């Protein structure tokens, strides 16, 4: 097993996740089985309770872990389902160390950061790599070098070179070379940041430098000289139009080959055809569509990263550019706002959400799409608001979700009785892969290529369900329930998983989050179908 550690310096948000994923893609393109692990030095056990507009979206794995959004990048670039344990936090590490201490597993020892905490960190890294059955594991260390809370992790990864052997461990450091007003690129922050890394005993094998423009040869030499990293170990990660270009530029500069040499891997010609083709399509699409994305955190794309990626994948598959127009759900609440804010769109997407801010605006958008016959794609809360709108249309006045109106006379979206007994925040969530039974002859059936219906797994992250008591009434009013949770009893059996409206160009809602499974090379079927329908709608409209 080979381990590659990716650290970062100077400032946060330089794109360590994209670098980790791109490096993984280059190794995967050489036929290696690669996995990636994200280390987050915060004390939270996972990302489940964190605010999306501060930390970006919560990415949900197949096993139901609520992780950092970078894990989503790993899954997309490596085209793999990450196993459990793909995110390691300080909270998890300490929880386990304290559990062991209480259980008497360290009997007679003083339990300390070194070696007990660092050993637990290393154990988790190895366990996660083994679980994935990988031959190369790339570990991204969150935060920036110099942060107090990342010290135990840096100490752990420093010693892994001695545990595993020089040929099996490499370190990559990502830094920033800012340009000053004169346009000159500055290398000093990079020097300082590498110095900080060396002060904890880690000498990077490779330095990747973020900058607005490509680094010239002179800059590389200078950085090499000041950091004691070989000149051919310095790489430039300059601004690019699309993140899918990152693996290609890094390969062009020889990163893949350099890692091969450093880790004594067999030399292989990488197969990067897919990335080249995807970038070509992204740069020169045959057509374009304008999708209105109605949401709460409209200011921060990171909060909806996987959905934006899902749209991008669907765009590549349809050879079309997808332009996203952000629409604030709260602004939509104003009287008549829909006629201006939603006019001229080729499709309307309502994404996930928690809490009642802007929810009436979302219900209004679903109604607008239904009435104006604009393609509509509702994900999780986006499906729930469409159900609420339909219930009100069907005469259930004041219909709502208990999440937004605990006194609603028609709680068409509600908690299930067995959930009410749960105490723990999060304990009541339906998380991870759950199957849905798609009904024959529905649009969902054709979306997933299962004309006779069948089982499909998508990832879930929600608490409320369509209230089974209202399903017959909703169906009576014309709403099609196109998928349900299979099984006869227990949480989930028979619950509504998807809805659609028949006499409409495209009106589909899913309780699940298909965005989490969308991959550049395997776009999510509902995303692909939504963009296809939006393209047709745009064409028909002229």
| Residues tagged active-site | 380, 513, 515
In terms of CB distance, is 53 or 106 closer to ligand GLN?
A: 53
Binds ligand GLN by CB under 6 A, chosen from 295, 352, 394, 514: 352
In terms of CB distance, is 201 or 426 closer to ligand GLN?
A: 426
Q: Please, which residues have CB within 8 angstroms of residue 442's CB and are 6 or more apart in sequence?
A: 453, 480, 482, 483, 500
Question: 542: burial class by Cβ within 10 Å (0-12, 13-18, 19+)?
Answer: exposed
Q: How many whole angstroms separate alpha carbon 280 and alpha carbon 168?
A: 35
Q: How many whole angstroms separate alpha carbon 226 and alpha carbon 244?
A: 31
Token match 């099984």: residue?
487
Which is it for strands 34-40 and 480-484: parallel, antiparallel or unpaired?
unpaired
Query: Nearest to residue 81, comparing CAs of 105, 58, 62?
Result: 62
Residue 217: both structure tokens together? 């040869």
The answer to the question of residue 53 lying near ligand GLN (CB under 6 A) is no
In terms of CB distance, is 347 or 353 closer to ligand GLN?
A: 353
In the complex, minimum distance from the CB of residue 404 to ligand GLN, in angstroms, rounded to a whole number: 9
**Alpha carbon of residue 445 to chain centroid:** 26
Contact letters for ligand GLN, residues 293-332 (x by CB under 6 A): ----------------------------------------
Residue 465: both structure tokens together? 């369900």
In the complex, minimum distance from the CB of residue 380 to ligand GLN, in angstroms, rounded to a whole number: 3
- Binding range to ligand GLN, per CB under 6 A, among 70-78, 207-215, 380-388, 490-498: 380-388
Binds ligand GLN by CB under 6 A, chosen from 464, 470, 507, 527: 464
How many of the chain's residues bind ligand GLN (CB under 6 A)? 11
Q: What is the largest CA-CA distance in the chain?
A: 78
In the complex, minimum distance from the CB of residue 120 to ligand GLN, in angstroms, rounded to a whole number: 32
The answer to the question of residue 265 lying near ligand GLN (CB under 6 A) is no
Would you say 346 and 534 are in contact if contact means Cβ atoms under 8 Å apart?
Answer: yes
For residue 352, report the phi and psi dihedrals to the nearest 5 degrees. -70, 160
Q: How many whole angstroms separate alpha carbon 161 and alpha carbon 169?
A: 5
In the complex, minimum distance from the CB of residue 432 to ligand GLN, in angstroms, rounded to a whole number: 13
- Binding range to ligand GLN, per CB under 6 A, among 184-192, 202-210, 458-466, 523-531: 458-466
Binds ligand GLN by CB under 6 A, chosen from 308, 380, 399, 483: 380
Contact letters for ligand GLN, residues 133-162 (x by CB under 6 A): ------------------------------
Binds ligand GLN by CB under 6 A, chosen from 292, 353, 375, 394: 353
Q: How many whole angstroms separate alpha carbon 357 and alpha carbon 154?
A: 41
Q: Please, which residues have CB within 8 angstroms of residue 422's CB and are 6 or more apart in sequence?
A: 428
The answer to the question of residue 42 lying near ligand GLN (CB under 6 A) is no
Interface residues with ligand GLN (CB under 6 A)?
352-354, 380-381, 384, 403, 461-464
């Amino acid at each position: 097993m080979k381990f590659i550690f990716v650290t970062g310096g100077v400032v946060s948000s330089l794109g360590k996740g994209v670098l980790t994923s791109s490096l993984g893609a280059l190794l995967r393109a050489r036929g290696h089985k690669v996995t990636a692990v994200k280390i987050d030095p915060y004390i939270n056990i996972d990302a489940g309770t964190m605010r999306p507009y501060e930390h970006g979206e919560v990415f949900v794995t197949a096993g139901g872990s609520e992780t950092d959004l970078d894990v989503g990048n790993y899954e997309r670039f490596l085209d793999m389902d990450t196993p459990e344990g793909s995110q390691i936090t300080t909270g998890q590490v300490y929880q386990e160390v304290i559990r062991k201490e209480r259980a008497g597993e360290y009997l007679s020892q003083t339990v300390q950061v070194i070696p007990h905490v660092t050993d637990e960190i290393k154990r988790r890294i190895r366990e996660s790599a083994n679980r994935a059955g990988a031959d190369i594991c790339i570990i991204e260390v969150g935060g920036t070098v110099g942060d107090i809370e990342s010290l135990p992790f840096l100490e752990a990864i420093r010693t892994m070179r001695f545990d595993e052997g020089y040929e099996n461990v490499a370190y990559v450091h990502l830094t920033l070379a800012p340009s000053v007003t004169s346009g000159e690129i500055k290398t000093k922050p990079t020097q300082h940041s590498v110095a900080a890394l060396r002060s904890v005993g880690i000498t990077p094998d490779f330095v990747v430098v973020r900058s607005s423009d490509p680094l010239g040869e002179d800059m590389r030499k200078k950085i090499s000289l000041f950091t004691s990293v070989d000149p051919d170990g310095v790489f430039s990660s300059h601004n690019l139009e699309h993140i899918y270009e990152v693996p290609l530029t890094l390969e062009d500069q020889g990163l893949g080959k350099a890692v091969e040499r450093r880790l004594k891997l067999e030399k292989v010609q990488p197969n990067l055809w897919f990335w080249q083709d995807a970038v070509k399509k992204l740069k020169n699409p045959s057509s374009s569509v304008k999708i209105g994305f109605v949401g709460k955190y409209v200011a921060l794309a990171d909060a909806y990263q996987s959905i934006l990626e899902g749209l991008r994948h669907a765009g590549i598959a349809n050879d079309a550019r997808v332009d996203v127009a952000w629409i604030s759900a709260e602004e939509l609440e104003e009287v008549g706002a829909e006629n201006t804010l939603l006019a001229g769109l080729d499709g309307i997407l309502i994404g996930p959400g928690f809490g009642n801010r802007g929810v009436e605006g979302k219900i209004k958008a679903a109604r607008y799409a239904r009435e104006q016959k604009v393609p509509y794609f509702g994900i999780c809360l986006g499906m729930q608001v469409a159900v609420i709108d339909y219930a009100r249309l069907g005469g259930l006045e004041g219909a709502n979700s208990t999440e937004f109106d605990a006194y609603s006379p028609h709680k068409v979206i509600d908690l299930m009785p067995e959930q009410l007994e749960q105490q723990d925040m999060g304990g009541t969530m339906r998380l991870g892969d759950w199957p849905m039974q798609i009904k024959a002859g529905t649009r969902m059936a054709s979306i997933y290529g299962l004309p006779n219906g069948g089982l499909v797994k998508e990832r879930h992250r929600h608490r409320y369900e369509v209230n089974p008591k209202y399903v017959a009434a909703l169906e009576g009013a014309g709403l099609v329930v196109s998928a349900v949770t299979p099984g006869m009893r227990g949480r989930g059996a028979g619950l509504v998983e998807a809805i659609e409206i028949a006499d409409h160009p495209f009106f589909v809602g899913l309780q699940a989050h298909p965005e989490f499974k969308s991959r550049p090379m395997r776009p999510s079927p509902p995303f692909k179908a939504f963009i296809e329908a939006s393209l047709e709608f745009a064409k028909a409209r002229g």
